[in-house]
Amino acid sequence: MKRKTSSRTTTANNANKEFHVFNYMEELVNITLKGLISQLPKTNKPSGREEVDIRALALNRLWPMYVTTEKGKKFVQRDVVTDKIDRDVTRELRAALEIVAKHPVSKSAAVPA
């Protein structure tokens, strides 16, 4: 099964082997944001465009955690638990949710001209 890669993923091919650079922080932000959104009342849930803005705002304030292997990903996941990085991610996502809630995307701005 091939993993879905983000726009930041870089791939190199070496003798029929693919190598990927993956920012685990993006995955952590996505997982945490889904949990936060599920707790919101239906009327306050962000649109798809707003979710992307929230992720971008949070990721710009967090540090990257690049890995190249599953072993590296597991190592980073242990760091997340040990260093309580999930608290930082949650804090930044909540701040981004507030910013986007104060400045919602208008319907006319969401549709390209």
Quick one: tokens of 8? 């930041």
pTM for the predicted model, two decimal places? 0.77
Q: Is the pLDDT of residue 72 over 70?
A: yes
Strand-pair partners of 18? 13
Q: Is the pLDDT of residue 50 over 90?
A: yes
Angle in degrees, CA 75, 15, 11, rounded to 5: 50
Residue in this structure with the two tokens 């949710």, named with its chain if needed: 97
Most distant CA atoms of the chain, gap in Å: 52
Q: Is 15 left (phi over 0), alpha (psi -120 to 50) or beta?
A: left
Strands (E), the chain: 10-14, 17-23, 66-67
Mean pLDDT of the chain: 85
- The pLDDT of 60-66, averaged and rounded, is 96
Of 15 and 90, which is predicted with more confidence?
Answer: 90
Band of pLDDT at residue 105, cut at 50, 70 and 90: confident
